[in-house]
Amino acid sequence: MIEVGSPAPEFRLQRSDGEYVSLEGFRGKKNLVVYFYPKDFTRGCTAEACGFRDSYEAFKNLGAEVVGISGDNQQSHDGFAREHKLPFILLTDADGSVRKAYGVKKSLGLIPGRVSFIIDKQGIVRHVFSSQAKPTAHVGEALAILKTLG
């Protein structure tokens, strides 16, 4: 797994509207919360996404953007975002290459891992939080770290 203090691996992935989003696009502009999650519409992932949604204004006020990444396709992300009114970016990592670059392993060898990375404006990883069993804890953890970054 990528360690705190390391440069975050670059990525360029598609949103549900077909637009590409890259880490480079945020450099010098915003801190990022990049969270990897197992699957759209599952109980834990829905709770986690809705937690980020409910705190989205707080993230924006801290100068941060939230980016969720899973292996789900663009149509799944679009439906998930619409159904739960998610205001943040969901990206498709269909081949798992970005998940692999960040070192996010599967839980029990089966379930894609649930890991959040806080990345500062210079593209440096400032915090890593991994918890498959506590999906909603990722939101509070991310907010607490962002408050220290300024």
3-state secondary structure of 43: helix
Q: What is the pLDDT of residue 50?
A: 98
Average per-residue pLDDT in the chain? 96
Q: For the chain, which domains are there?
A: 12-149 (3.40.30.10)
pLDDT, tens digit (0-9, with 9 covering 90-100), for 135-149: 999 999 999 999 999
Whole-number pLDDT of residue 150: 67
What mean pLDDT is predicted for residues 54-77? 97
* Catalytic member of 45, 62, 64, 91: 45
H helices of 5-42, in order, are: none
Tokens 């197992």, residue? 38
How much is the pLDDT for 110?
A: 85
CA 103, 57, 73 angle in degrees (round to 5)?
Answer: 45
Q: Give 30-39 pLDDT, tens digit per residue.
A: 999 999 999 9
Whole-Å CA distances, 110 to 37, 66, 106, 131 = 13, 26, 6, 15
Nearest-Å Rg of the Cα atoms of the chain is 14
pLDDT at 2 over 80: yes
Whether 125 contacts 7, CB under 8 Å: yes
Q: Is the pLDDT of residue 96 over 90?
A: yes
- Contact between 138 and 48 under an 8 Å Cβ cutoff? The reply is yes
Indicate if 50 belongs to the active site.
Answer: no
User: Side chain identity at 60, as an amino acid letter?
Assistant: K
